[in-house]
Amino acid sequence: MKLHLLPLLVLLAAPAIAQPAPAPDYRKPESWLCRPGAKDPCSGDASASRVAANAVVTLDMLPPAKKPKIDCFYVYPTVSTDPTPNSDMTADPAEIGVAQAQAAPFRQACRVFAPLYRQVTLATLRDRMLGKPVTADLAMGLRDVSAAFADYMKHDNKGRGVILIGHSQGSGVLKALIQTEIEGKPVAKQIIAAYLAGHNVLVPQGQDVGGDFKSTPLCRSATQTGCVVSWVSFRDTMPVPPASLYGRPPATAPAGMAVACTNPAALSGGRTALRPLMVNRTGIVDSGTPVPKWAKGRNIYTPFVALPGLLTGECMNRENANVLSIGINADPSDPRTDTINGDVMVGGQIVPGWGLHLIDMQVAMEDLVDLAKSQGNRWLRQR
């Protein structure tokens, strides 16, 4: 059966149900996946083993910032394993795991807030890919996240700058939040940046503003604020197939639109070394495939693995798609791994239309954390 590989957040363009359910109560601690001061997925061990090309391993504890002066508001991707069309408000292991992978490293730069939300589930995604009717409330996630953000701004923000961080469905929800609740409103002055990974953000060809956002430009400097970083990742050894909508505007987009690509390690988009933090376990962010042997003769036990010099990234137009092209500087003669996980797998086979979607954030995680520090410091100096 042919699979129609549509990014899940394309579904959000569909109409919502007639009588939407009310948003959860975000005054309740149990409505949050991560909050400052709580024992949650964002507060555990975030240490990394740095594996050099010669297999020398050094430990980096990546400690949280002491009294950080900015906040991060994180919305996780499509990971819920609930069998229902929309997820419930109880975190399952996949939601916990993806927050550990994608949000915990940012505590080096900011306080991390991550609401639970009733997202469109993996079950719904599978149904859509198989051509089955979709019964999910496709706008419920946006309503929930909007309510969570409003609660955060009212009770927790207290005038602080905030970075919006999302991936996949989470990026699509945050894009809609910026469009409906932030642009043109006073709160926009508090948005340090938005990191929207794994989702198509449209801009006019050759421009940095317009398209999906009326006044929020793409980031082109590590000290620029009030801007967006957005990218979708593909291996440089694999083409971007026609069936993939990542990197290409939808057919319904106005003429002249392109998908934004800002390389987190070089915001101008040029080729440069990336600083990944790979997850040292099998789970949702690596499609359940075995963890690579990071280096011959070395056992790694930390949650994260840094691989300095292994990956490069460059924003490129390939097969008429704008993507972050990921290269691996493999050297079969040295003891370090020559492979990384991150492909979507179905029946043991790579689904090429998704690229490296599962690790969009991991391939440049340390670059993103440093960018958050730099942009946060600039925002604080501008106050």
Distances (CA, A) of 157 to 45, 111, 227, 319, 361: 26, 10, 19, 43, 25
pLDDT score, position 108: 98
Give me the residues of the chain with pLDDT under 50, please.
Answer: 1-18
Residue of 260, 204, 254 whose CA lies nearest to 227: 260
Q: Is the pTM of this model over 0.75?
A: yes
Q: Which two tokens stand for residue 113?
A: 């807030």
Residue 265 exposed, middle or buried by CB count within 10 Å (0-12, 13-18, 19+):
buried
Stretch (H or E) spanning 374: helix 365-382
pLDDT, residue 140, reads 97
Sheet strands (E) in 217-294? 227-231, 233-235, 257-259, 272-273, 277-279
Please enumerate in sequence order all residues whose Cβ is within 8 A of that of 251, keeping only pairs 6 or more positions apart, or say none: none
Q: Cβ neighbours of residue 114 under 8 Å, at least 6 residues apart?
A: 32, 33, 34, 35, 41, 42, 73, 74, 75, 76, 99, 103
Closest of 146, 164, 320 to residue 229, by C-alpha? 164
Q: Would you state the pLDDT for residue 5? A: 35
Spatial distance between the Cα atoms of 340 and 358, rounded to a whole number of angstroms: 11
The torsion angles phi and psi of 70, rounded to 5 degrees, stand at -130, 170
HSE toward the beta carbon, residue 17, CA cutoff 13 A: 14
- The pLDDT tens digits of the residues spanning 23-47 come to 899 999 999 999 999 999 999 999 9
Pick the closest to residue 173 from 31, 75, 246, 97 (CA basis).
Answer: 75
Question: Kindly report the CA angle at 78 between 77 and 81, in degrees rounded to 5?
Answer: 130
Query: Which amino acid belongs to residue 149?
Result: F
- Residue 121 carries which side chain, given as an amino acid letter? T
Asked whether 90 and 118 are in contact (CB, 8 A), the reply is no
DSSP codes, 42-84:
TSS---EEEE-TT--EEEE--PPPSS-SSEEEEE--S----SS
| Predicted pLDDT of residue 347 | 84
For tokens 């290409």, the residue is 248
Question: Cα–Cα distances in Å, from 371 out to 4, 107, 242, 294, 367?
Answer: 35, 13, 33, 26, 6
The answer to whether the CB of 34 falls within 8 A of the CB of 43 is yes
Counting DSSP H helices and E strands in the chain, the numbers are: 5, 18
End-to-end CA distance of the chain: 56
Cα–Cα distance between 239 and 118 in angstroms, integer?
Answer: 34
Residues 261-302 pLDDT 10s:
999 999 988 999 999 999 998 776 667 778 899 999 999 999
**CA distance linking residue 303 with residue 96, whole number of Å:** 14
Give the per-residue pLDDT at 254.
95
The CA distances from residue 173 to 7, 24, 141, 179, 218, in Å, are 13, 16, 7, 10, 18
Q: Where are the domains of the chain?
A: 27-382
Angle (nearest 5°) at CA 127 between 177 and 200: 35
CA distance 42 to 46: 8
